[in-house]
Structure 1
Amino acid sequence: MTKAVTVLGTGLMGAGMARSLLRAGLDVTVWNRSADKARPLAADGATVAEDPVAAVAGADVVVTMLFDAESVGAVMTEAIGAMKSEAVWAQCATVGLDGVEALASLAAKHNVPYVDAPVLGSRQPAEDGKLIVLAGGDSGLQDALAPVFDAIGTRTLWVGPRAGDGHRLKLAANSWVLSLTAGTAQALALTRNLGLDPQLFLDLIAGGGLDNGYAQLKGRAMIAGEFPAAFSLDGAVKDAGLIAAALRSAGADDRLMTAIRSQYESAAAAGHGDSDMSAVFVTHGQEDAQ
């Protein structure tokens, strides 16, 4: 039975996931490349490891939630040899299809059971244990991972048997999230730049077939110009690039996602990379109107 879980990466998402695991009564060890992001979790009951090798040594499940495929690969190349026999690696970061394959190969090389398990949700759902887990891999690992996935999420969807199946659905979902956020930003900027109060757009769609809770949430932040990060602009740039690459590899047209990525990229380049992705609004009108 899974009792000990290690979380490698305690940024916006990983810290909340670690706290959710602690609330579920699991023994949690955490590690982060920037140690100051891991140390506060000691007050919640986590063991803070000094290095990834020590972090994974006693774990039944190792959860990776680092920024990208390169960072996950570098950390796990160092740590994977220290995992105990039968421990399972749940790879929850969004790393793209090529990244999934590379990490699955690393796991296979070391005979480590591996599940591709990206999560749908942002900082607050991670804190509340209300993510959706999109798992791809051997269904025989479901029992071992259930205590972990049940702690961090409200629902686990086993998408398919291949490592990468979880990512295939996650990239499709993120394409919708990124498109919706950018589209909301454009509509609000156009409303304001045509001389109207942008709140009128949100009022217009409220309660009708065009309404969307996410658009309302992000739209209010855009109008207020307040962008505390739930999902960062830098993360949006990264994921948009992974989505565009997946579209190309599938023989689909990537032009829309490439254009959307350029908008997030412009906002990040303007100094908003650590802000919430709703700060894409800045380049859609706030600065242009000044």
Structure 2
Amino acid sequence: MDKGKRKRGLPCLTLPSSLFSEQAHSAPRWRCVSETPATRYGPGTRTENKARAVAEHAPGVTAARAVGDAVSGASVVIAMLRDGDTVAEVASDAIGRLDNDAVWVQASTVGPRHAAAPAGLARDHGVAYLDAPVSGSTAPARQGKLVWLVAGSDGVLARACPLLDDLGSSVLHVGTEVEGSTVKLVVDAWMAASTVAMSNVLALCNVLGVDHTTFVRVLEAGPLAMPYELQRVGVMDDASYAPGFAVRLALKDIEPASAAAAASPLLQAVRDRLEATVAAGHDNDDLAAVDYSRKPPSWSGCGPSVRSRCSPCCRSPHRIFTRRFRIFAGMMEPWRTRQF
């Protein structure tokens, strides 16, 4: 190890199910291994004091000096970490410390290649393993509405399923190896692409004079409604990009997806948009921030012929009064000039 660098993955936190679900699971001895927020920016910031400072302000959360200490004695361990390198290093530290009957649940979004490494490590140590990333961000997590995308044997899934059921709304068994991580990449690519598409379509609405409320009503009335993206309309219009699924995480996930899909113009365009959004300083904002560059509509000069398809701003009392005054003045012009 290079001088001046601390081992990655230390310290860590053990987190209760109440962090993810409003109703804590009643089964004993389960842990979630997560990095402290302060540890995301490099090995030099990973200190026990910072981990403990985070734990002090989060009821039910316990800071551990080492990953091995955090997982020792647990029957189910959920590892939810940012990237593949961290997942591999934490797994190498922790899997050997698990009890014989424990289940390691790999819930990080790292793609199938990185998910295969801890799977092999678990197999070498005789540890039960599930590849189980989730679909859903902070709000669904707090509401207990995450969707688990699980790959693993039926027997191992049956042991962990009561806990997964409590933390999410659905547990989908999608394979026996690391198919969960593969499906997760596809789902995240779809989410990012549809969000960029929504931003572009709202820009089109502005150009054509289609009110956004009307656009949403039309989608809701038919089979094209996508609840996630319909919710993004208001967020984008208000430019309120409160952290949910961060742009930088969407970019992290789209990179392996775009690399796997050879010569995909769509995924490359989505990746370019995410990179531009990060470069504009929105890396930690919600994915809706891809809309940051869209200009608000300008409806100046609208005449009666296009009045029916103008934005509500064209139908404001001030504009209606001005238009009617001009029409009235035009009607009065012959009388003003008539000689009696």
Q: TM-score, normalised by structure 1?
A: 0.83
Instruction: State which of 44, 49, 57 in structure 2 corresponds to 1:40.
Output: 57
Instruction: State which of 64, 68, 72 in structure 2 corresponds to 1:57.
Output: 72
Instruction: State which of 266, 279, 287 in structure 1 corresponds to 2:276.
Output: 266
Farther off after superposition, 206-215 or 140-149: 206-215
The whole-number CA distance in structure 2 between the counterparts of 1:76 and 1:39 is 26
Q: How does 1:90-169 map to 2 (within 5 A)?
A: 90-161=105-176, 163-169=177-183
The answer (yes or no) to whether the contact 1:228–1:275 under 8 Å persists in 2 is yes
- Which ranges in structure 2 are unaligned for 5 or more consecutive residues? 1-11, 39-50, 299-340
Instruction: State which of 172, 181, 199 in structure 1 corresponds to 2:186.
Output: 172
User: Are residues 1:256 and 2:266 paired?
Assistant: yes
**SS, match of residue 223 in structure 2:** coil
Shift of 1:198: 4.4
What is the aligned partner in structure 2 of residue 278 from structure 1?
A: 288
Structure 2: which amino acid aligns with 1:185?
Answer: S
Q: Provide closer, same or farther for how the CA distance between residues 156 and 282 of structure 1 changes in structure 2, counting only shifts above 3 A.
A: same
Instruction: State which of 219, 226, 234 in structure 1 corresponds to 2:233.
Output: 219
The whole-number CA distance in structure 2 between the counterparts of 1:274 and 1:9 is 22
The whole-number CA distance in structure 2 between the counterparts of 1:97 and 1:177 is 18
The answer (yes or no) to whether the contact 1:187–1:201 under 8 Å persists in 2 is no
Shift of 1:140: 1.3
Larger relative contact order, structure 1 or 2 (CA cutoff 8 Å, min sep 6)? 1
CA RMSD of aligned residues (A): 2.7
The answer (yes or no) to whether the contact 2:111–2:184 under 8 Å persists in 1 is no
State the identity %. 33
* Structure number with bigger Rg: 2
What is the aligned partner in structure 2 of residue 20 from structure 1?
A: 21
Shift of 1:254: 2.8
Shift of 1:197: 5.1
The whole-number CA distance in structure 2 between the counterparts of 1:19 and 1:64 is 13
Shift of 1:155: 1.3
User: Are residues 1:235 and 2:258 paired?
Assistant: no
**SS, match of residue 74 in structure 2:** coil
**SS, match of residue 105 in structure 2:** strand
Q: Provide closer, same or farther for how the CA distance between residues 28 and 142 of structure 1 changes in structure 2, counting only shifts above 3 A.
A: closer
The answer (yes or no) to whether the contact 2:130–2:157 under 8 Å persists in 1 is no
Q: Provide closer, same or farther for how the CA distance between residues 21 and 82 of structure 1 changes in structure 2, counting only shifts above 3 A.
A: farther
Farther off after superposition, 16-25 or 54-63: 16-25
- Which ranges in structure 1 are unaligned for 5 or more consecutive residues? 1-7
Farther off after superposition, 75-84 or 269-278: 75-84
The answer (yes or no) to whether the contact 1:80–1:110 under 8 Å persists in 2 is yes
What is the aligned partner in structure 2 of residue 245 from structure 1?
A: 259
The whole-number CA distance in structure 1 between the counterparts of 2:201 and 2:192 is 14
Shift of 1:68: 1.5
Structure 2: which amino acid aligns with 1:261?
Answer: R
**SS, match of residue 155 in structure 1:** strand
The answer (yes or no) to whether the contact 1:18–1:28 under 8 Å persists in 2 is no
The whole-number CA distance in structure 2 between the counterparts of 1:110 and 1:204 is 55
What is the aligned partner in structure 2 of residue 3 from structure 1?
A: none
The answer (yes or no) to whether the contact 1:117–1:167 under 8 Å persists in 2 is yes
The whole-number CA distance in structure 2 between the counterparts of 1:102 and 1:286 is 45
Shift of 1:88: 1.2
User: Are residues 1:89 and 2:109 paired?
Assistant: no
Structure 2: which amino acid aligns with 1:281?
Answer: D
The answer (yes or no) to whether the contact 2:13–2:64 under 8 Å persists in 1 is no
The whole-number CA distance in structure 2 between the counterparts of 1:193 and 1:9 is 50
Shift of 1:175: 2.2
Shift of 1:169: 2.1
Q: Provide closer, same or farther for how the CA distance between residues 96 and 87 of structure 1 changes in structure 2, counting only shifts above 3 A.
A: same
